[in-house]
Amino acid sequence: MTTTQPARPPLGALPPREHLRLGQTETVLDVVIPVYNEETDLEPCVRRLREHLARTFPYGFRITIADNASTDRTPEVAARLDDALDEVTAVRLEQKGRGRALRTVWTLSEAPVLAYMDVDLSTDLNALLPLVAPLISGHSDLAIGSRLSRSARVVRGPKREFLSRTYNLILRGSLAARFSDAQCGFKAVRGDVAERLLPMVEDTGWFFDTEMLVLAERAGLRIHEVPVDWVDDPDSTVHLVRTATDDLKGVWRVGWALATGRLPLDRLARPFGDDPRDRELNGVPGGLARQLVGFCVVGALSTLLYLGLYSLFRLGVGPQLSNAAALLVSALGNTAANRRLTFGVRGRDRAVRHQAQGLVVFAIGLALTSGALAALDSATGHPSHGTELAVLVAANLAATVLRFLLFRAWVFPDREREGRCGCQETWPAAGTGHAHHVHHPGHTGSTDHPGHTGHDDLTRSAR
């Protein structure tokens, strides 16, 4: 029969990780196999996976075949498996795209743990239980199989090996990714995380995996890696050049979105668990230690920038004008960096206001440093450049302490970050094309969510 998307409650903050309450759901794991024109390999692979899960997986499971608009007999094979095996469900999409298939099926699924693997079953199935166990226990949010781990055993040609390692080096260099293998077709995610993460992923093709992992990692979610035994499929139909080109375009798009603060990653943040040591202590300001560290790092870098600019400007103009120009430029950068890194304010909302308030703080720092230079000039007449720099460093230390206090109490107060929890944002309701309002902690304003697909083109056969 045909099932429709169940009504979902409004999204709130992600709760602390905890062990799944397995008695509340019959199906714990939903394994999706996206396929396109796989009429020959589909049935033996699905039967092999079903047999393995029935023999080794201790909880209820489902295998969902996601047909990406196949033009051969794949839909007939999928339908036959759906009829013959209780644990198998067939889904038909009228558009191609592995990412589209995964997002569609994962959005519809009610299973608390969602996974996928390639139809060729290149990955040894003994890694499946270690893949999903950290998600069931509450230890991790996502899990991936890694062919590049030292303990992984991989059989594949030099061309694919080179491309895979080069791509992961690009991810590390451009997006600061720390996970080791973005492209292995063997991944899992908790359902509550997927519910919030998937609407933020724009790609509908092969870059879907990478984008999902990068956003999750940047949001502070925990990604568990499992070394796998993997044998390359010599008959793979993946077009390597086109896939690589699309991946590089995706790297640029996601990198630009992260650099401009367009992605509201705050909604994915998790609080600490229930360890008493993680609870808020009376009389201790929340986040003060972390903010001090971040402020000191940003302050050290901006001070170096300020001194370099002052020395550069001093070659052409007097000390007061050089000080004002150098302090202005470094103050703009300092405010932007502290806004994002120290106080965790993301997105463009109130960015202009924060810079204006930062300029007020800058004016106070300018008064301190200009006064110090004036006092030095009055006392010595013609001080050396080294003496000027020493006085400026001392004056800037005093201005820095004052800047931190003003930033914390006035420019980026706690009540502003907390106040953003009450914002409303319009999301398309999955499978409807209509919108509903949900609350998102730590996010201001409304954000469009491109890449979210409706399900008018989907027919789901299920029991």
Active site residue 203: no
SS3 state at 349:
coil
Q: 219 near 152, Cβ under 8 Å? A: no
How far apart are alpha carbons 300 and 281 in whole angstroms?
30
Residues 6+ apart with CB under 8 A from 27: 60, 61, 62, 110, 111
Q: Check residue 265 and report its DSSP letter.
A: G
Show the 3-state SS of 359-422. HHHHHHHHHHHHHHHHHHHHHHCCCCHHHHHHHHHHHHHHHHHHHHHHHHHHHCCHHHHHHHHH
Q: H helices of 85-157, where? A: 98-108, 128-137
Q: Specify the 3-state DSSP secondary structure of 305.
A: helix
CA distance 325 to 319: 10
DSSP string across 163-229:
HHHHHHHHHHHHH----S-S--SEEEEEHHHHHHHGGG----STTHHHHHHHHHHHTT--EEEEE-E
Alpha-helix residue ranges (DSSP H) falling in 92-155: 98-108, 128-137
Q: Of these residues, 209, 247, 266, 349, which one is catalytic? A: 209
Question: What is the C-alpha to C-alpha distance for residues 411 and 392, in angstroms, rounded to an integer?
Answer: 24
Residues assigned a catalytic role: 209
